Structure 1
Amino acid sequence: MLSVRAIRIQTLTWATLAILFLISAPLLWAASPLVLGMVAALGAGMGLATKRVLRAYRGKRRRSMLTGAAVACSLVAAPLYWLLLQPALHPLTVPRVTLSDGTRQVVFQGMIHIGSDQFYRSVVYDMLRARDAGYVLYFEGILPGTPEATAWLNAAVHADGDLNAQYARLANACGLEFQGDFLNFVQRQAAIDPAHVVLADVSVTEVYEEWKRLVAERPELDQPIAPSQAAGQDLTLSKGLDFVSRLGGHQRDFLAAACRGAFTLLLGRGEDADVMNLVVLDFRNRKLADRIAAAAGQDIYIAYGSGHLAGLLEEMRKRDPSWQILSTTWTTAILPPDDATGRLPVQAGLLMFQP
């Protein structure tokens, strides 16, 4: 016969398990009803096995299975909820920094390869205002080069084929936008107004030539690239993207939300230490600082990857120590999609379309 205290503890335990299951089940169902069924079945089996092995209490077999199912669903859903909440709990922000040497201003707008449509549209709006105020707009984007240089760079960054195409597919899978689509606008504007819209980056050939120069000075940098390993990594990404393209609407929505959380975590860590940063970051920073120094008296608006800011400012101060930061603002780069819909509080007969 159970005591009153034991009954209360047992009731509280069952209530807690029920609440945890009710919280976790909708998330697993959103991923797929099959996922919910598999996790619940696995947990039920584990609960039954634990009951048989340990014989912890004299309960019914059904109770052990329900306990296992609830615990398993809760354990699986907890990290998923944590991942989905990252964009809200720890938003991925990029800086907009205004620099001045006392005579002119340089605005540095941090960018990322994959972000929210709202973020890119806000940047475009800000740039157009800067252009109308007389700023020259500088954009990143490594320019094309020779086939040899392109093949080397693709191998060095583990890209098989068109890296931009893979970024675009990944952005689509995550419910985000690819920076390259934004750069299409830039290229059109550069053709229309080359005096105020400048593709200020180096070419693939220049990057390759700089790498060969560094290797000649420091032979230890010349480490062979394992083609099979690089191809295997990219093949895995390609297969993953192919799998995503076959998912249903609800599954893709769930994956997009999880992907935004993953990007918030990964991109929030900053740049990893990599020998390729000698040319991908440092070399390009020097060239950009040279271009800024050559444009004496001109206000400039720069849209470059956020990872370039510290190195670029250092290079600018090497050429002119008077450069200082005037102000800094921050923008959230990954936001929920803005395709939400609602229902108008009017009679359906007044609508010429179906809501």
Structure 2
Amino acid sequence: MKGSTEVWLIRLSAILWFLLLVGMLLSLPILFDVGGWAVLGLAVLAGVLALPVAWSLRRLFSRQRSQPWRASLLKTALATFALLSILAAAPIYFLAFNAALRPVTVPLATLSNGKKTVVFQGMMHIGTESFYKGVVYDLERALTEGYVLFYEGVQPDPSADAWFSQTLAGGGDLSANYTALGKACGLDFQLNYFTLLDVDKAAHPERHVTADVTTADMKREYERLVRTDPAFAAYARSAEVKKDEATGSNIAKALAWLDRATPGQQVLIGTACRGVLNIVTVNDDESDPINKVVLDYRNRELAARIAQSPANKIYVTYGAGHLPGLLRDLKALDPAWEIKSLKWERTIDSPETLSGRLK
């Protein structure tokens, strides 16, 4: 019986060692991308932790005591280093696999009330190049089919631009913030691709409509909610207390640090950033009070523009989160509005790096 138990312990030990070593080998490339100092630091930490662990194991197990102290210490240090390596690299692997298995998608929906047809292309402010190129291609085709394009984009107003920047844009310029985030994540900012439509805009400005509100409009709605909605007023007071005046400078510092990162570090930062962005987007909190201004108010205004537009074929490019509210607001104006077709498109993916050989 004792011999059988020892055999099973040996087998279990072999399996654990195999898993630890495989995990360590998978983790080391990530650690070396972080920097040699990361590997060295984990090795030193493993050596320090191995001393009490090896001593405890020798106290608990007679089989450990039968080995020389140096052998026990080296094996424990190696196992500890492998475990620490796995723990250090696990978040990167988790974020990468989560983004691959649960991708962020946006809707492409066709709405109609029998008189007008609205194609709603859900957007994200930052995403992969292939997604934006596909959107621009669809827009160019829509123009040839007689659609009027409705774009998202809060318009500036000198009387409220500073308020908008500090209250809703997190400090600094909103486009600059998205460009910075896209750079960190290895993604692109959507407006970089809409310039491909500039020639048609210049020739046919009536077919290109920025169907959004101004910063002053949003400020007025914000102030109205503060006066009439106690829950929103409480949110506004707490948001004012938490407001970070240094957000813009923090972004500048982060960009400066990113520029100094090694290529390997930039790859890891991009992977982590895309993974976090994926989680945040998928689990977006729809109950956030600020959505009463950012989503609900703008949805009502967009629905009114669609209803009042003389065009009977409209192609809307707006944030994906606007679709449910827009449909509700259109139905409030005309119950005949409904979704005729719906499909989903992926917006965030790992950048492709292809190579070849000239013969």
1:321 partner SS? coil
Where do 1:70-81 residues align within 5 Å? 70-81=82-93
2:281 paired residue among 251, 267, 271:
267
Instruction: Single out whichever of 166-175 and 270-279 deviates more from structure 2.
Output: 270-279
Does residue 130 of the first structure (1) align with residue 138 of the second (2)?
no
Counterpart residue number, 2:201: 190
Q: TM-score, normalised by structure 1?
A: 0.89
1:96 partner SS? strand
Deviation at 1:271, TM superposition (A): 4.3
Does residue 104 of the first structure (1) align with residue 116 of the second (2)?
yes
Cα distance, 1:87–1:19 mapped onto 2, change above 3 Å: same
Contact 1:28/1:77 (<8 A) preserved? yes
What do residues 265-303 of structure 1 show as CA deviations (whole Å, max 9, x unaligned)? 111123443222122111111111111001245100000
Cα distance, 1:88–1:199 mapped onto 2, change above 3 Å: same
Cα distance, 1:218–1:246 mapped onto 2, change above 3 Å: same
Does residue 282 of the first structure (1) align with residue 301 of the second (2)?
no
Instruction: Single out whichever of 125-134 and 4-13 deviates more from structure 2.
Output: 4-13
Letter in 2 for 1:156: T
Letter in 2 for 1:327: S
Deviation at 1:183, TM superposition (A): 4.3
Counterpart residue number, 2:40: 37
Q: TM-score, normalised by structure 2?
A: 0.88
1:50 paired residue among 46, 49, 53:
53
Does residue 149 of the first structure (1) align with residue 149 of the second (2)?
no
User: For the residues of structure 1 that align with 2:153 and 2:313, how far apart are their CA atoms?
Assistant: 21
2:245 partner SS? helix
Contact 1:173/1:245 (<8 A) preserved? no
Where do 1:301-312 residues align within 5 Å? 301-312=315-326
Counterpart residue number, 1:352: none
Unaligned runs of 5+ in 1: 347-355
Counterpart residue number, 1:161: 172
Kindly indicate which of the two structures has a greater share of residues assigned to helix.
Answer: 2
Counterpart residue number, 1:17: 20
Percent identical residues: 37
Does residue 330 of the first structure (1) align with residue 344 of the second (2)?
yes
User: For the residues of structure 1 that align with 2:294 and 2:357, how far apart are their CA atoms?
Assistant: 49
1:243 paired residue among 236, 251, 257:
257
Instruction: Single out whichever of 167-176 and 254-263 deviates more from structure 2.
Output: 254-263
Letter in 2 for 1:195: E
Does residue 68 of the first structure (1) align with residue 80 of the second (2)?
yes
Unaligned runs of 5+ in 2: none
Does residue 121 of the first structure (1) align with residue 124 of the second (2)?
no
Contact 1:286/1:312 (<8 A) preserved? yes
Does residue 88 of the first structure (1) align with residue 91 of the second (2)?
no
1:317 paired residue among 317, 327, 331:
331
Contact 1:135/1:299 (<8 A) preserved? yes
Alpha-carbon RMSD: 2.3
User: For the residues of structure 2 that align with 1:241 and 1:218, how far apart are their CA atoms?
Assistant: 39
Contact 1:270/1:307 (<8 A) preserved? no
User: For the residues of structure 1 that align with 2:84 and 2:264, how far apart are their CA atoms?
Assistant: 22
Deviation at 1:236, TM superposition (A): 4.0
User: For the residues of structure 1 that align with 2:19 and 2:228, how far apart are their CA atoms?
Assistant: 65
Instruction: Single out whichever of 277-286 and 226-235 deviates more from structure 2.
Output: 226-235
Contact 2:115/2:312 (<8 A) preserved? no
